[in-house]
Amino acid sequence: MSRVVAAVLALAMVSTAHAESPLIVQVRASVASYHQDPARLDVLRSALTEASRIDPSVDNLTALAHICFAWGDVRAKTPEEKLAAYEQGRKAAKRAVELAPRSVLAHFWYGTNTARWGQTKGVMRSLFLLPTVKQEIETVLELDPTFAPGYALAANVYYEVPPLLGGNLDRAEQMFRKGLALAPHFTAMRVGLAKTLIKKGRVAEARQELQAVLDEKAPDNVADWTMKDSRRARELLESLAQQSSASAG
């Protein structure tokens, strides 16, 4: 198992002094296999919501934040459902941060859910959250400079935010490449790099990255690759092909 998978799937940063709960074990298994039964995310979100109410431990709260993010991306049918899921995940992760200020995963899921909430709401309508996201990125990379998902989060912020407010495509590319150097099979990061290259006008390089996503034989997260990354890569390649045909015509 690669380091990035171990980091992201190890939702409970448990010590050897206690064993993982059966629910956390289920979460660990499901986040990499939910493509086989996406409705499983519904069950896990409900179970973790109740578990976090009864036992608001760092393990339960961090797991809930991860599942809320996945649910918002995969199961939500409307923007309102997405916002509710990311907000629930954001609140759960924030509580985890308060309980464990040095938990990389707690900070990561707090920043990630906050950023996705803002992206869904609209960047210009959620700029008040930008300082929080930036602080969480800084904390994650300070606590663990080898935590590849932290670079993905940083890169996406540089990509999404307008230049006047700190967005920077060069920095986005740098962050994506740093993350991929640590986790070359992290397909969401490769899609992000491709999108950045498209914006920078380097379409041929972008196509290579997107094709690499489709050709990936050992993605760090098979479920994410199946449900999100490969689909997005295919859509972007088709869009580039259409643009090329239109230009040629």
- What is the three-class DSSP state of 57? coil
Identify the pLDDT of residue 19.
Answer: 59
Q: What percent of the chain is modeled with pLDDT above 90?
A: 81
Helix (H, G, I), strand (E, B) or coil at 1: coil
Please name the residues in contact with 168: beta carbons below 8 A apart, sequence gap of 6 or more: 158
Residue 21 DSSP class: P
User: Among 4-8, 63-67, 92-96, 157-161, whose mean pLDDT is lowest?
Assistant: 4-8
Average the pLDDT over 133-161 and give the result: 97
| Cα three-residue angle 45-49-54, rounded to 5 degrees | 150
Task: List the structure tokens of 161.
Answer: 């935010």
What's the confidence (pLDDT) of residue 141?
98
Amino acid, single-letter form, for residue 158? Y
What pTM value is reported for the model? 0.89
Question: Residue 15 has what pLDDT?
Answer: 35
Q: What is the 3-class SS of 126-183, one letter each residue?
A: CHHHHHHHHHHHHHHHHHCCCCHHHHHHHHHHHHHCCHHHCCCHHHHHHHHHHHHHHC
Handedness of CA 161, 81, 25, 184 (dihedral sign): negative
Q: What is the mean pLDDT of residues 38-61?
A: 96
Model confidence over 20-43: pLDDT tens digits? 788 888 888 888 899 999 999 999
- Statement: residue 14 has pLDDT above 70: no
Instruction: Write the pLDDT tens digit of every residue in 191-246.
Output: 999 999 999 999 999 999 999 999 999 999 999 999 999 999 999 999 999 988 77
Say yes or no to pLDDT of 168 above 60.
yes
Residue 47: per-residue pLDDT: 96
Residue 28: the pLDDT is 84
